[in-house]
Amino acid sequence: MRRVLVTEALAQEGIDLLRAHFAVDTRELTSEEELKDIVHPYDGLMIKTYTRVSKDVMDRAPRLKVVARAGSGLDRVDVKYAESKGIVVRNTPEANIISVAEMVFALMLAVARKVVLADGYLRSRAGWDRDRFIGTELSEKTLGIVGVGHIGREVAKRATGFEMRLIGFDPLIEAEEMARFRVEKLGSLEHLLSQADFVTIHVPLIDATYHLLAEKQFDMMKQTAILVNTSRGPVVDQKALLIALREGKIAGAGLDVFEVEPPEDEDFLALENVVMSPHVAAGTHEALRKMTVQAAEIIIKELTK
């Protein structure tokens, strides 16, 4: 009987779907070293956020035929090496798009309306000085969407409800396609950054997007601008972002992802104009269920051919 390893905590419905076809083992979390030691008998892997499927792992997996990522990014899988070994690697890019798009607005509003600071102030019983927490409306502001794919489009749909002007930068998407979502295509990232009141990032982590936003880009942004990143941490140069936030080059940031996770820079963690969450943008019951079921369906399809 074919064997499948689920390397992280995922929704039971998808695991039950796998068990109808295969022998399935589950783990709450699996390091690369652990995976190297245990991967040899498995025909399929279902991974989520933290599992690294490296060349070394695949070299110890003679039976491995498929790796299914319950989620979108594949930066923790050596995809090229997998292809060279005939291992199918697939993800579930549409399963969590609603959850991530909604989280963008949670972070955007939390920063713009100083929700976290106000909450802490009230809980500390420091007083009732409402003027300390005067914020900024989203209405009639310009939202710059960097990456107008699945998630970027869902963000655009919701932004129209806030009566925002939408501009986008994505060299892979035509202007006509962006216009379907009321997004005006701009020809350069620099043009977008100079106009946007809010910037939200939705790109994969590849060589071309590493430190896509760094010191030069922060210098182009409005001093009142707010950055939201729910994509991948290394897309933003975190040291440059720290300086930009400290020196008032931009007004604030809402971050679900970081260059090093969890973030360890005490200076960065002390910033009051940043709202942070621990890489949970896709973390809803609905998204977890869809991701797990879709990943299970990928594995079933590949192992029952």
pLDDT tens digits, 137-166: 999 999 999 999 999 999 999 999 999 999
**Of 137, 261, 264, 286, which is the active-site residue?**
261
pLDDT of residue 279: 92
| Number of structural domains the chain divides into | 2
In the structure, what pLDDT confidence band is assigned to residue 305 with cuts at 50, 70 and 90?
confident
pLDDT of residue 75: 85
268 and 290 inside one domain: no
pLDDT of residue 243: 97
116 and 245 inside one domain: yes
Read off the amino acid at residue 277: S
204 and 296 inside one domain: no
The answer to whether residue 232 is catalytic is: yes
Q: Containing domain of residue 78, as a range?
A: 3-93+285-303
165 and 61 inside one domain: no
**Residue corresponding to tokens 């490296």:** 54
Q: What is the pTM of this model?
A: 0.88
Query: Can you point out the beta strands (E) in the chain?
Result: 3-6, 23-26, 44-47, 66-69, 88-91, 142-146, 165-169, 183-185, 198-201, 226-229, 252-255, 274-276
The answer to whether residue 130 is catalytic is: no
pLDDT of residue 44: 98
The mean of the pLDDT values for the chain is: 96
What CATH number does residue 194 fall under?
3.40.50.720
pLDDT of residue 30: 96
**Residue corresponding to tokens 């039971």:** 12
pLDDT of residue 185: 98
Mean pLDDT within 102-119? 98
In the structure, what pLDDT confidence band is assigned to residue 99 with cuts at 50, 70 and 90?
very high
CA distances from 145 to 40, 62, 173, 182, 290 (A): 43, 43, 12, 12, 25
87 and 102 inside one domain: no
Using the 8-state DSSP alphabet, how is residue 130 labeled?
Answer: G
pLDDT of residue 72: 81
In the structure, what pLDDT confidence band is assigned to residue 178 with cuts at 50, 70 and 90?
very high
Give per-residue pLDDT as tens, 125-140.
999 999 999 999 999 9
Residue 295 in this model has a pLDDT that exceeds 90: yes
- Cα angle vertex 151, ends 77, 171, to 5°? 80
83 and 172 inside one domain: no
113 and 228 inside one domain: yes
* Chain centre distance of CA 101: 10
**Of 69, 153, 232, 259, which is the active-site residue?**
232
54 and 77 inside one domain: yes
Report the share of the chain in percent with pLDDT over 70: 100
pLDDT of residue 61: 97
Nearest to 291 by CA among 26, 4, 97: 97
The answer to whether residue 215 is catalytic is: no
59 and 182 inside one domain: no
Beta bridge partners of 24: 4
Mean pLDDT within 234-241? 97
